[in-house]
Structure 1
Amino acid sequence: MIVSLEAYRTRMRRVLEHIDRNPESRLDLDALSAVAAFSKFHFHRQFTAIFGMSVHCYVLSVRLKRAAYRLAYREGRITDIALEAGYGSPDAFARAFRRHFRQSPSSFRRTPDWDALRAVSALFDKTRMDLMECRFTPADVTIREVAATPVAIMVHRGDPSGIGATVQRFIAWRRASGLPPWRTPTFNIFHTDPQVTPPEAFRLDLCVGTAGPIPARGEQIEHGFIPAGRCAVLRVHGDEEAQKAGMLYLYRDWLPASGEETRDFPPYCQRIALYPDVAGHEAVTELFLPLAEAG
């Protein structure tokens, strides 16, 4: 039987999604080759040839990246995080975590090594990028009349490499203020593009939708509005790389062909389903490109 390239990619993509969704389950060659419907005698060679790493290394990266995000950004016992990552004991989890991140899980929770997390994430994202590539069409973009949205804002200014620490402070402030993401919406406003902006000039606003002023609780919190108006909206499923691909599509492909003009407000997004609460490919983000009034 001849398998088309797209069918082949679909079967491998199914494996990655299965690993994302079930990091705590048995993810050996027998189980994953069955998900792909490939012979187990060849699956390991196929996987390594495509992704440049073994199945074991890939599974380890998925488990430890998600565990690191849970440690940095979520509450919960380290023992539970270890079990959710597929480790039978906290000691086994701690040894694996230390090899990858140069810190114990408890130390990482207190003072995360963001450089180590970025290094692991970059390798992981590069491995997935081609196969999990997002493809968009004009039918994926809708034009929506958006109401003005009051928001509380924590501003990140400076090197993008420090965003992780700002996000950690934002989550802690939000938790202390009783504004969990399942109750109040989460927005990011992209004032600058890190690809073309000097690190010292970079700005990203972390926002939570709120009907009234919220105590700052020792943080620098601003209050403002995402203004009303027309927006092109693109819903993206996946991680940060998928979101970058979506924003690139809006500016490079959709906007020039649409006949639309942008208005004087930066692009922004609403985070609908957040990693690590959901698997990487199940994260959902809506990208908003503010447009000038029609006519």
Structure 2
Amino acid sequence: MDHYEVVERALLHIEDHLDQPLSLDDVANALNLSKYYFHRLFSAMMGCSLNTYILSRRLNASLILIHEGRTSLTDIAYRLSFGTPSSFTRAFSRQYGIAPSLLRTRHPGLAPIPVPAIVRRPIKNINGDVVADFTLTEFEAIRLSGIVFEVDLAGDYETTIRSHSRMLLQELDPSVQGPCYVVYSNCQPDSTRFNVLCGIPQELRIEKPFYFTVDVPRFFCAKFTYSGDLLEIGDVLKTDYARFLKISRQETDDSHIELVQRFNDIHDLGSAYHIFAPIKKLPIDSDGE
């Protein structure tokens, strides 16, 4: 059983026992694992502690019961192991920004979400802590041709990136093979707006607005490998990257490039891909050059 299966089984076990006491010992024992290993693995894969995840799923389950309207809030609190109705109300208000008693009238469209999918990526153990596997490497300078646009992470950036990626693919001959790059750059302090380039390392002759050829410079970086949807790793990467910086004691580089994604197949943006995050080159990383 690999680490994906471990966490997937844990998520299903939790979902089936939300109305019962659930501690780290309970879940680890159900999987026949050391609680210390399971705790590190779960935190690395899910980006939060087990207790935080269980609380969020209990609150998620409460949405169903509230909308059904057949169970009182007091009974929901006890049924989902919140201890007291006031504890349930406080936790619900923190999670959703509204008291549970007002849900049906103020936010009738607030719906429960399914058990989250696990983003697949290799992991490694560093001094007893589990982190997403990474390689310290150089991103080699490259010239990319493609479409440039702006996204706002505070808005519907997923739709923007998908639509512009399709625009580029529509201009490519099916015979064109090779990788595709998505480059995020020039995010200003306290801003959620990024410039994005979706392009390929081949010369394109497209006489339309927003199509450019850009030289991406060489930079030192941490390289991560993921598989799955183009955009569904955003929150996961943030937690992976934060853990990587903390545990490896690296620092982000002061670069106009925020992030680079490289997909192995230009025609399949659901394929495995690499993420390159600029970091400062420490003296130890320069040895041997």
TM-score (norm 2): 0.47
TM-score (norm 1): 0.46
